Amino acid sequence: MKNEQVINNFIDGIESKNKNVFSERDSFGRLCLYSYGYHFPMALKLSNALIVNLNKYSMTTSRHQGILNRAICGEIIFKTTNELKEIIKQEGNSKEDLIEVKI
């Protein structure tokens, strides 16, 4: 499966993976997208928005982020890697649920 397919599946709410990019559900059932491992979450899909990592990591991860940014429609909230990792630890499936995490 190509990177574009994994990312488009993520946008559509479907888990998928290849050797570079993967998406899976977190402990709260939300879909998370990662580039090359758990150290770099690229995005978290909420019921009413996407939280997208604004940090850069490598040339290839930047390509993955470009594919993601072109595929997104709807509300986008940009956060740093550390902020996104903290949000992933919090329960909630909408941006309103996660106000305490300073979205």
Which range (9-13, 67-71, 73-77) has the least confidence?
Answer: 73-77
pLDDT digits (tens, 9 = 90+) for 17-28: 999 999 999 999
Q: Where are the domains of the chain?
A: 3-101
Cα dihedral 39, 6, 10, 16, rounded to 10, equals -80
What global pTM score does this model have?
Answer: 0.85
CA–CA separation, 91 and 103 (whole Å): 13
Q: Nearest to residue 45, comparing CAs of 3, 70, 8?
A: 8
Q: What is the pLDDT of residue 10?
A: 96
pLDDT confidence of 101, banded at 50, 70, 90? low
Beta strands at 16-17 and 31-35: parallel, antiparallel or unpaired: unpaired
